[in-house]
Amino acid sequence: MKTSTKAIPKLPDAFEVFGFARDLLEWYDAQKRDLPWRINRDPYRVWVSEIMLQQTRVETVKPYYHNFMEKFPTITALADAPEEEVLKAWEGLGYYSRARNLQAAAREVKTLYGGEVPDTLEEISRLKGVGPYTAGAILSIAYEKPEPAVDGNVMRVFSRLLLMHDDIAKPATRIKTEQLVRQTIPHGRAGDFNQALMELGATVCLPRTPQCLTCPVFDYCLARREGVQHELPVKSKAKPPREVNYLVAVIPYAGALLLNKRPNTGLLADMWELPMVETAGKRTPEDELAEFLLEQYGVDVKVGEQLPTVQHTFSHLHWNLHVYACSVIEAGELPASAVFATPQEWADFAFPVAFQKILEYISHS
């Protein structure tokens, strides 16, 4: 059997000789931000924060984190909660599969590990939604295990420090960066070190405007030495999101509004929406929408004025929601997924951001 002869990348000697980890940690100890998930190192609290922070800014996460931890203070509380409550607490954060995976993993922890987050890489990596970064963050911050936690911030920092032109969009670059970070983790302060790297990328080694003159590891940075810090990291461009046009119906009836629950798989699974249909624009939107509502919901409507269009971009899709006010001519039996709900009733429903915007508009009209 062939074995890999590919060498593990090595750090420059200066990192060890002059104390890269020491310099970074001294800066972190003095300058780290006061963040709610840093109050203690409880693995569940660390886990929730790391999942929330994926694809989301720190300032956006703070109030959600406070609210989530109040509602679900323990793994058992999260595992036992109805999914609808979890999605409602996540409402507005986006990437809702994170919330569903987090709850599914919490149930695994409750069942398999007695409610205690496992402290080995093998076990924690089996949990739903826990990838290499999240596993490294929990193990290092909560358990002081010398595991790297490499996110986009860390890859940007190391690309500049080591003058790496590897494409950070490729999995191989993350693996290479993990190997390099692992060599720098100091004994006994793995969690602080990983957080310091992330903090450096978030506050100093910024994507477009790196603050090199205030960087605590300025002297180690090869990109700065060559004057090319603004050119790194290298990242191939993702495909632009596909544009999709939908017709959306606002249908009030007897003090309530027609709402539909999305399927339990796929995009925005189990969340609530206003009735909507993708359109190719081959007929008038009024005719297309009225026919769809009669066929799918058993509701005969008159399509009225067009309300403001709402746009929302996902990683792979761009929604244009063309919204129409409708009045009911006759209402038949609704499908199982749909209800006429009053504002008091839908207050507990979890809606995607795009539909929150529509509901907010009509509530103030």
Q: Which residues are catalytic?
A: 50
The answer to whether the beta carbons of residues 199 and 38 sit under 8 Å apart is no
Region of residue 343 (left: phi > 0; alpha: psi -120 to 50; beta: else): alpha
Token duo for residue 328: 């009911």
How many other β-carbons are positioned within 10 Å of the β-carbon of residue 191? Answer: 24
d(CA 280, CA 97): 28
Q: Residue 292 corresponds to which tokens in the numbers above? A: 């769809």
Q: How far is the CA of 198 from the CAs of 33, 192, 206, 259, 322, in angstroms?
A: 11, 10, 11, 42, 40
Q: How many CB atoms neighbour CB 100 within 10 A?
A: 18
Q: Quick check: helix, strand or coil at residue 223?
A: helix
**Residue carrying the six token digits 């420090």:** 161
Residue type, 352: P
Q: Are 352 and 276 in contact (CB under 8 A)?
A: no
Sign of CA dihedral 245, 351, 84, 334: negative
Inter-helix orientation angle 58-71/83-90, to 10°:
150
